[in-house]
């Protein structure tokens, strides 16, 4: 059986291909079009997946869309009847294309890209939250598990509890639109001056700078949380239902004025709002998990949906020890729905006997490049490089890191999901107290407050962080161990009631032996690196450990602000030349910035970086 799953026409389009239950390939459309969170039909991602499997479209057995367009139409129609008269035209103008132009005719769109003959009788649609549930359960190592899926909205559902057992998934409970913890979090993302559907991780990163002083205000006015984790929103405070904006005038009145303008100065209000909504989100997710445990009786939990990327909430859930083990789909957003749709068809429709053991393959499911192809692309720029054996290459890279250099690392197949996991990464020395600011301001051209993730050798993670499980996909935070922390000045900024807050000196405080990856609350969003999942990235960190005694490196995504993660050697080289990086590893080649010729004008650094 050869099954292709596709997602898109909303945000984060992607494709995934499974053959006889094995995940062969999965990729984001944005990596090819260079449009972040691309919504278009994933033709390039499909082309890659088919190429990776060596098959033509006509040899596919099934093509499965991650969403049921008719249920989305049903929600749109019900909304239309409920919209206030003064907002009716705005609602129709803003939503009609997304419902009627493409999604409803997904069969025709697929035929136009893949051929009528190839698609004849092969297109299926899976409910949105079932796609999420399948993406979480089937690649997990569990024979049976509770499944929790939480996002903004998919068709009607915003939150669902399911039970996975063998090849089957049964949905047990569901919360429907407009009640959505994902959209509540998005409303605060918008109100704090960040982009919805991409800036939520900024809000999460901002939260530790603040105090949750608005948490009770949120619970008393915006959301009614029940003991079983179910909840409802007070729609008097929101405009996303019919007004075209996330928040309304009553929301502004509740929190002291208009939303922060993008790129303007962050004030005390924003950091406290971030801390408050994070606390409320943690509470809801913990209650939902307890209900999932009650309904299923399972000892393991799987999670997916955009809210499952909130690693702070995931860590809060882990600390509760409701479940013995938690496995979260690394591509938890809509892109992962493509994978879930294919896997659901593989097991629940085709009734294939389920394969066990983690099937995600380290999420290194995207495109890879041979040495010859990489060299050919670099030669096109006149790039200067040296070729090395692996051990020598990683020893040289470790020495450069030890000298305070920032390195681009491009190796093997790219990651599926929003996190760079050591295949398309920028890496640096976490012991350098200036590295976080340098990476944010001079390398990635983004806000100074944003934290960076540590990548640590899995077997040594417990020596540096308070964690007793692996975190291969950067989906949990953990505290830096107390013996690695430094004494530093009291947090005067934390108790300052003035509306002004200067984040840069707070960021630059040296809190631990690895300050570049220690957030203001002494936590870190860590990636544990296993030798079997990513042997090349493991070998590099191991070389750095041998040289320095530190088994940790800074790991951030290989991209400039506002652009997707690089996908090809050419994109990596251009990005390297435009950013504040010192060296670049592409496969077995090492490039030093100062040895490179000047980049041609059409590729030179721009000043108009997009918002992310």
Residues 277 and 312 sit within 8 Å (Cβ to Cβ): no
Instruction: Return d(Cα 348, Cα 346) in angstroms, integer.
Output: 6
- What band does 483 get if pLDDT is binned at 50, 70 and 90? very high
In the structure encoding, which two tokens stand for residue 394, read together? 């990683």
Q: Which residues contact 49 (CB under 8 A, 6 or more apart)?
A: 4, 15, 16, 17, 24, 25, 26, 27
- What band does 609 get if pLDDT is binned at 50, 70 and 90? low
Cα R_g (the chain), whole angstroms: 23
pLDDT at 362: 96
Average pLDDT over residues 454-462: 98
Strands of the sheet with 157-165, listed across from one edge: 168-176, 157-165, 144-154, 300-304, 325-328
pLDDT at 605: 61
pLDDT at 293: 98
The secondary structure of 143-193, three-state, reads: CEEEEEEEEEEECCEEEEEEEEECCEEEEEEEEECCCCHHHHHHHHHHHCC
pLDDT at 593: 97
Residue 298, pLDDT above cutoff 60? yes
pLDDT at 14: 98
Q: pLDDT tens digits for 574-604?
A: 999 999 999 999 999 999 999 999 988 777 6
* All structural domains of the chain with their residue ranges: 2-139+329-359, 176-326, 371-603
Instruction: Return d(Cα 239, Cα 160) in angstroms, integer.
Output: 24
**% of the chain exceeding 70 in pLDDT:** 97
Instruction: Return d(Cα 24, Cα 360) in angstroms, integer.
Output: 10
pLDDT at 492: 67
Instruction: Please state which architecture CATH assigns to domain 371-603.
Output: Alpha-Beta Complex (3.90)
Residues 237 and 248 sit within 8 Å (Cβ to Cβ): yes
Residue 314, pLDDT above cutoff 60? yes
How many CB atoms lie under 10 A from the CB of residue 405? Answer: 17
Instruction: Return d(Cα 583, Cα 205) in angstroms, integer.
Output: 28
pLDDT at 445: 83
Residue 11, pLDDT above cutoff 90? no
End-to-end CA distance of the chain: 39
What fold does the segment set 2-139+329-359 form as a domain? Answer: Nucleotidyltransferase; domain 5 (3.30.420)
Residue 170, pLDDT above cutoff 80? yes
Instruction: Return d(Cα 486, Cα 160) in angstroms, integer.
Output: 43
Instruction: Return d(Cα 562, Cα 612) in angstroms, integer.
Output: 5
Name the DSSP letter for residue 603: G
pLDDT at 89: 81
- What band does 419 get if pLDDT is binned at 50, 70 and 90? very high
Q: CB burial class (10 A; 0-12, 13-18, 19+) of residue 54?
A: exposed
Domains 2-139+329-359 and 176-326 share a fold: yes
Q: CB burial class (10 A; 0-12, 13-18, 19+) of residue 85?
A: exposed
pLDDT at 30: 98
The secondary structure of 429-472, three-state, reads: CCCCCCHHHHHHHHHCCCCCCCCCEEEEEHHHHHHHECCCCCCC
Residue 187, pLDDT above cutoff 80? yes
- Please report how many Cα atoms fall inside a 13 Å half-sphere around the Cα of residue 534, on the Cβ side: 32
Residue 606, pLDDT above cutoff 60? no
Instruction: Return d(Cα 146, Cα 329) in angstroms, integer.
Output: 14
pLDDT at 263: 87
**% of the chain exceeding 90 in pLDDT:** 78
In the structure encoding, which two tokens stand for residue 415, read together? 């990651």
What average pLDDT does the structure give for the chain?
A: 93
- The sign of the torsion formed by the CA atoms of 388, 390, 396, 401 equals positive
Q: Give the position of tokens 């050919």.
A: 376
Instruction: Please state which architecture CATH assigns to domain 176-326.
Output: 2-Layer Sandwich (3.30)
pLDDT at 239: 83
pLDDT at 607: 56
Q: What is the H or E stretch that residue 45 is in?
A: helix 43-53
- What band does 105 get if pLDDT is binned at 50, 70 and 90? confident
In the structure encoding, which two tokens stand for residue 220, read together? 């008393």
pLDDT at 84: 77
Name the DSSP letter for residue 245: S
Average pLDDT over residues 107-125: 87
Q: pLDDT tens digits for 216-270?
A: 999 999 999 999 999 999 999 998 876 667 898 999 999 999 999 998 999 999 9
- What band does 493 get if pLDDT is binned at 50, 70 and 90? low
pLDDT at 551: 98
Q: pLDDT tens digits for 43-94?
A: 999 999 999 999 999 999 999 999 999 998 898 888 888 777 777 887 777 7
Instruction: Return d(Cα 561, Cα 401) in angstroms, integer.
Output: 23
- What band does 393 get if pLDDT is binned at 50, 70 and 90? very high
Instruction: Return d(Cα 305, Cα 155) in angstroms, integer.
Output: 13
Q: Which residues contact 467 (CB under 8 A, 6 or more apart)?
A: 461, 476, 478, 526, 528
Instruction: Return d(Cα 523, Cα 194) in angstroms, integer.
Output: 23
Instruction: Return d(Cα 370, Cα 361) in angstroms, integer.
Output: 19
Strand partners, 527: 455
Least confident of 344-348, 350-354, 432-436: 350-354
**What is the distance, to the nearest Å, from the Cα of residue 502 to the centroid of all Cα atoms in its chain?**
28
The answer, yes or no, to whether the previous bond of 178 is cis (omega within 30 of 0) is yes
Residue 294, pLDDT above cutoff 80? yes
- The sign of the torsion formed by the CA atoms of 33, 38, 40, 43 equals positive
Q: Give the position of tokens 């559902």.
A: 157
Instruction: Return d(Cα 539, Cα 74) in angstroms, integer.
Output: 52
Residue 490, pLDDT above cutoff 60? no
pLDDT at 224: 98
């Amino acid at each position: 059986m050869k099954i292709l799953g596709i997602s898109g026409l909303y945000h984060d389009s992607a494709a995934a291909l499974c053959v006889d239950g094995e995940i062969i390939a999965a990729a984001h459309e944005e990596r090819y079009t260079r449009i972040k969170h691309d919504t278009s039909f994933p033709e390039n991602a499909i082309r890659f997946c088919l190429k990776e499997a060596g098959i033509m479209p006509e040899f596919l057995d099934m093509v499965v869309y991650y969403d049921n367009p008719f249920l989305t139409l049903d929600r749109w129609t019900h909304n239309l009847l409920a919209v206030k008269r003064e907002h009716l035209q705005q609602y129709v103008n803003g939503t009609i294309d997304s419902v009627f132009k493409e999604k409803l005719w997904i069969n025709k769109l697929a035929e136009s890209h893949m051929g009528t003959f190839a698609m004849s009788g092969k297109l299926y649609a899976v409910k949105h939250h079932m796609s999420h549930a399948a993406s979480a359960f089937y690649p997990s190592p569990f024979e049976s598990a509770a499944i929790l899926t939480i996002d903004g909205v998919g068709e009607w559902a915003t939150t669902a509890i399911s039970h996975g057992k063998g090849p089957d998934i049964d949905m047990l409970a569901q919360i429907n639109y407009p009640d959505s913890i994902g959209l509540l979090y998005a409303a605060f993302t918008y109100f704090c001056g960040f982009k919805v559907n991409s800036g939520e991780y900024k809000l999460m990163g901002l939260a530790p700078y603040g105090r949750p002083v608005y948490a009770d205000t949120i619970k008393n006015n915006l959301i009614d949380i029940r003991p079983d984790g179910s909840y409802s929103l007070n729609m008097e405070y929101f405009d996303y239902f019919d007004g075209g904006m996330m928040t309304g005038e009553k929301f502004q009145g509740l929190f002291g004025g208009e939303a922060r303008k993008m790129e303007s100065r962050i004030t005390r209000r924003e950091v406290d709002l971030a801390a408050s909504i994070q606390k409320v989100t943690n509470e809801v997710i913990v209650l939902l998990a307890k209900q999932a445990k009650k309904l299923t009786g399972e000892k393991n939990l799987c999670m997916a949906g955009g809210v499952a990327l909130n690693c702070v909430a995931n860590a809060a859930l882990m600390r509760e020890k409701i479940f013995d083990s938690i496995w979260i789909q690394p591509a938890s957003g809509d892109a992962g729905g493509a994978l879930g749709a294919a896997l659901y068809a593989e097991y629940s429709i085709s009734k294939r006997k389920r394969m066990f053991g983690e099937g995600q393959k380290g999420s290194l499911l995207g495109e890879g490049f041979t040495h010859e192809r990489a060299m050919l692309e670099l030669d096109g720029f006149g790039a200067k490089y040296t070729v090395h054996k692996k051990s020598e290459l990683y020893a040289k890279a470790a020495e450069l890191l030890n000298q305070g250099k920032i390195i681009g690392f491009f190796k093997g197949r790219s990651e599926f999901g929003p996190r760079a996991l050591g295949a398309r990464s920028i890496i640096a020395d976490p012991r350098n107290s200036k590295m976080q600011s340098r990476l944010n301001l001079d390398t990635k051209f983004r806000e100074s407050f944003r934290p960076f993730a540590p990548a640590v050798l899995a077997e040594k993670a417990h020596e540096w962080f308070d964690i007793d499980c692996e975190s291969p996909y950067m989906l949990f935070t953990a505290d830096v161990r107390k013996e690695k922390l430094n004494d530093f000045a009291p947090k005067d900024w934390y108790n300052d009631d003035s509306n002004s807050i200067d984040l840069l000196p707070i960021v630059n405080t040296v809190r631990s032996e690895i300050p570049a990856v220690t957030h203001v609350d002494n936590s870190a969003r860590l990636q544990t690196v296993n030798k079997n999942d990513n042997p090349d990235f493991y070998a590099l960190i191991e070389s750095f450990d041998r040289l320095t005694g530190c088994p940790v490196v800074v790991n951030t995504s290989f991209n400039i602000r506002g652009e997707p993660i690089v996908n090809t050697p050419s994109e990596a080289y251009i990005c390297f030349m435009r950013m504040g990086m010192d060296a670049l590893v592409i496969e077995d080649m090492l490039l030093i910035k100062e040895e490179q010729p000047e980049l041609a004008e059409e590729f030179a650094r721009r000043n108009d970086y997009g918002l992310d």
